[in-house]
Chain A
Amino acid sequence: MEMNPLKAKDGEKIALMGNEAIARGALEGGVWIAVGYPGTPSSEVIMTLQEFGAEIYAEWAVNEKVALEIGIGASIGGARSLVTMKGPGLNIASDPLLSASYSGVDGGLLILVADDPGPITTQTEQDSRWYGPLAKLPLISPSNPQEAKDYTVIGLELSERVQLPVILRTTTRVNHAIGEVVLGKISEPRKFRSFKKDPQRFIRAGMTWNLERHRWLNERLVEFEKLAESFSLNRVEGNGEKCIITEGIGYQYVKEFLLNKIESGEKFRILKLGLLYPFPRDFLRKALRGCKETIVVEELDPFLETFLRSELLTFGFSTRIIGKDSGHLPKEGELDLEKLRNLLLGGQNVKDRSLDSAVPIEVPPRPPPLCPGCPHRNSYLGILGGIARAGFSRKDIPIFGDIGCYALSAYPPLSAIWTEHSMGASISMAMGLKLSGFEKPVVATIGDSTFFHTGIQPLIEAVNKRVDMLVVILDNQVVAMTGHQATPSWTKTETGRDVKEVKIEEIVQGIGVDELKIVDPYDLDSMVKAVADSINKRGVKVIISRAPCAILEARRKGRPAYYTVIEDKCTGCLACLRATGCPALYVNEKGKVSIFEEDCYGCALCARYCPTKAIVRGDSVGKKD
């Protein structure tokens, strides 16, 4: 049996995660260039193309803006491209996005943006559907893994026919859902065809041209709406007077709840939208005729509901609209299944099942901690120790954080970072605080991939404006949080492509910082000293705290050692736990510390803090590793 989703045959039915289905769809749709920046819940698309050996260009870019511009460049040459990112990533890429609608494309260009209602792993509950009307680009939305694949193929085809990039918008429950997918035929990748000089199309400097291009864009959108009809992106199921407009994962919930009702002949009419922008007016004008009541089932903002309310007058008939603005469904979080069920089933004969459910047993929360042996733990202990050694209280020195695993340093016992805002914001926000008149030193901490992504420009700004700060670049040489993707410091990418290593220290020196040190955070004393020596100096001081991600290193090379507790020596003071918060440590039933030996990475940090030397290397007490 073929387990490789990229090699399985046309017509075969396999179980795929939504993102794997999009990867397969990319190959069925003839994509030649697939590029993105890692971001949950979008990362597995590129990862699948890499892992299962797609014979196309499938690589990570330094950030989403660059990724999209690569996609645009490839597509104006006639190649088909896929660009992937999470919701906030599209904010980074929004500049090229809004110009791409004016220049248009020749080869199909599909932009995957994955939102995260909940939010489960993302900083905001951004609703990227608004980018459809904002960028004036077609936006389509699949409901399940099968549609995720099919819409990828359709989106590429439509993009090429209408000459506009198409946004494929998904949410976590589609990206990370597994479902059966019937496969289609893989097409030959569409590579470069031609690129002709055409200033009016490709140069955005001329005002009169842009007005013309805007007119062209509006015409294309009308064309798109018509063309989309032939791909059946929107459809009607049932013919009752009680109508439901839905899209994305909302459709799956509606079907689940109404299935029996529909089968038993109750009159519901489901308007399932796959095309969300341009708002399918003509379709809805016909499909909504005769609806007495219309429930809008969508996650996050009342996006469809807003359009519907504004269009209703032009439709020339009235229907009561029930949704988020009407107060029936919440505007925050994932769709509440119980509320939705009650709304759809009319609140009658529907008991609140949660009343019958087990009373939850109160247990302590389990926020994700830094892994055992994580070099970031040492880096922050070094920073906090350095602040103390330089004579400051940790309460007085703000540590600006950035986006990545090291944001977990916000939790006790480290409680290190004071902010975590948006990609690359640590350095520039620290700068802003200093400029506001803050007199004590400030520390900005940023990971290596975040530094490459959007941290370089803030460093230029801080150096150029001569703002005093200590910048610590936490260099674990990988995009760790999203599943260990490549950074520009690699010499070979996941696909085996030989690439040139870009060195952070050379960038930092090139910018002209006042001081640069490279420290190994496992050498905690050196780290403390480096921070203490630099923190009070004038200018921009950079410490590159460099050690590879511990779990990745352990996967590649095996762990260097493991540690164990000599129970007789342990007094249960918990100094080790209080200092490190390492998840390989726990307090046993006797009130003493034990180590989950299979989880221990052997960094020895806990042993350093043990006043009675009760924590020792496992092999030193004769146990086998």
Chain B
Amino acid sequence: MGRKINILISSVGGQGGLSLSRMIAEASRLAGYSIATGETLGMAQRFGSVKSFVRVGIGEKVYSPIFHKNEANYMLCLEIIECARNLEYLDTLLGWIILSYDFRPPVSASLLPSKEKIDSSLLLRRILSYSGERAVLIDPKEVREISGSSRAINASILGAFVEISKIFDDSHAMTAIELVLRNQKAVESSRKAYIFGKSLKGIGDAYSPRRLI
């Protein structure tokens, strides 16, 4: 009997959420798994909410490219507000959150008349209350420093995801990165980011929200 893994990727347009979805698709194909992703793409503009569904079938076939609320085994988030927005997709009993805690308040929010400030650390605490210790936090600044590129944050999330889920070999994940990026410089910074992501542990460790907040 096989199993199916549901992954929801939340990001702001331009952060690399779609590339991350594609990397998981390629790694799944290399690993011989069944794969179905569902995206809502097509507008060139950046800065809007982007939500990608990724479904991996290990030893069984996946048919639907999307899934319902409460069914995500993993939420991969490139931004705090977008992570909060899609939390209803998380399986709150068993699901993991991997979150690069970039904070990008939408420009429209700054213009609200009763400017209700979004408190990013409060938001982060509330997000983590749904996953308990099943969370990995990634400091986007650290990824930028280590990899030399903010575009490589998605690869650090991939690394953390592979470390927890153990569904891919590193070689498959790295080949997937190469196939999707097709640019040697980007591949190199993503390789560094991926290795960094793999080195991270769940919260309670050095990336505890207690240290953060």
Contacts and interface: CB of A to CB of B under 8 A. Distances in A.
Interface of A: 1, 3, 13-15, 40-41, 43, 118, 120-121, 144, 172-173, 176-180, 249, 251-253, 255-256, 259, 337-338, 341, 353-354, 356-361, 363-371, 405, 408, 411-413, 480-484, 551, 574, 577-578, 581-583, 585-587, 589, 596, 598-599
Interface string B82-108: 101101111011000000000011111
Contacts of A364: 81, 105-106, 108-109, 112, 118
Contacts of A412: 108, 111
A358 B71 contact: no
Across the A-B interface, the 7 shortest Cβ-Cβ residue pairs: A40-B42, A368-B48, A357-B70, A364-B109, A256-B64, A366-B106, A255-B63
A414 B78 CA distance: 28
A176 B41 contact: yes
A178 B25 contact: yes
B24 to A, nearest CB: 9
Nearest to B45: A368
A357 B47 contact: no
B68 A360 contact: no
27 contacts: A15-B26, A40-B41, A40-B42, A121-B42, A178-B25, A252-B63, A354-B69, A359-B88, A361-B126, A361-B127, A363-B84, A363-B85, A363-B123, A364-B81, A367-B48, A367-B106, A368-B13, A369-B47, A369-B106, A369-B108, A371-B47, A412-B108, A412-B111, A483-B44, A551-B44, A577-B111, A589-B120
B206 interface: no
B175 A366 contact: no
Given A360-B87, A363-B85, A484-B44, A178 B150 contact: no
Contacts of B47: 366, 368-369, 371, 583, 599
B74 interface: no
Contacts of B82: 366
B202 interface: no
B46 interface: yes
Contacts of B89: 357
Max count, chain A CB within 10 A of own CB: residue among B69, B90, B109 = B69
A449 to B, nearest CB: 12
Contacts of B179: 1, 3
Max count, chain A CB within 10 A of own CB: residue among B40, B42, B179 = B42
B110 A178 contact: no
Contacts of B90: 357-358
Interface in B120-140: 120, 123, 126-127, 130
Given A368-B48, A480-B44, A178 B88 contact: no
B35 interface: yes
Contacts of A589: 120
B174 interface: no
A255 B69 CA distance: 19
A65 to B, nearest CB: 22
Contacts of A251: 63
Contact of A15 (B29, B38, B44, B88): B29
A582 B108 CA distance: 9
B203 interface: no
Contact of B88 (A358, A481, A586): A358
Given A358-B130, A361-B123, A581 B85 contact: no
B70 A354 contact: yes
Contacts of B69: 338, 353-354, 357
Nearest to A116: B42
Given A361-B123, A366-B108, A578-B111, 15 more contacts: A3-B179, A118-B40, A121-B43, A176-B42, A178-B37, A179-B35, A337-B64, A364-B108, A365-B49, A365-B106, A369-B108, A412-B111, A551-B46, A577-B107, A587-B115
Nearest to B115: A587
A122 to B, nearest CB: 10
A295 B115 CA distance: 49
Interface of B: 12-14, 21-22, 25-26, 28-29, 34-49, 62-71, 81-82, 84-85, 87-90, 92-93, 104-112, 115, 117-118, 120, 123, 126-127, 130, 150, 175, 179, 182
A209 to B, nearest CB: 42
Interface of A, secondary structure class, is loop
A370 B45 contact: yes
B118 A40 contact: no
Contacts of A341: 68
A148 to B, nearest CB: 12
B110 A598 contact: no
Given A176-B42, A364-B118, A483-B44, A581 B108 contact: yes
A3 B68 CA distance: 32
Contacts of B26: 15
B45 A369 contact: yes
B204 to A, nearest CB: 20
B68 A177 contact: no
A482 B81 contact: no
A483 B107 contact: no
Contact of B43 (A178, A356, A481): A481
A583 B39 contact: no
Contacts of A483: 42, 44
A25 to B, nearest CB: 19
Nearest to A405: B45
A482 B44 contact: yes
A596 B106 CA distance: 12
Given A15-B28, A365-B106, A353 B40 contact: no
A180 B70 contact: no
Contacts of A480: 44
A338 B127 CA distance: 24
Nearest to A549: B44
Contacts of A484: 44
A489 B150 CA distance: 35
B207 to A, nearest CB: 21
B35 A178 contact: yes
Contacts of B81: 363-364, 366
Contact of B107 (A15, A259, A363, A585): A585
Nearest to B103: A586
B48 A337 contact: no
Nearest to B54: A178
Max count, chain A CB within 10 A of own CB: residue among B44, B81, B90, B117 = B44
Contacts of B35: 15, 178-180
A405 B127 CA distance: 33
Contacts of B88: 354, 357-360
A41 B42 contact: yes
B27 to A, nearest CB: 9
A167 B38 CA distance: 23
Contacts of A598: 150
B44 A13 contact: no
Contact of A172 (B40, B62, B120): B40
A489 B163 CA distance: 50
B64 A252 contact: yes
Nearest to A172: B40
A365 B123 CA distance: 15
A493 B145 CA distance: 39
Given A337-B66, A337-B67, A481-B44, A361 B84 contact: yes
Given A364-B112, A577-B111, A583-B47, A173 B66 contact: yes
B29 to A, nearest CB: 4
Given A121-B43, A405-B45, A177 B37 contact: yes
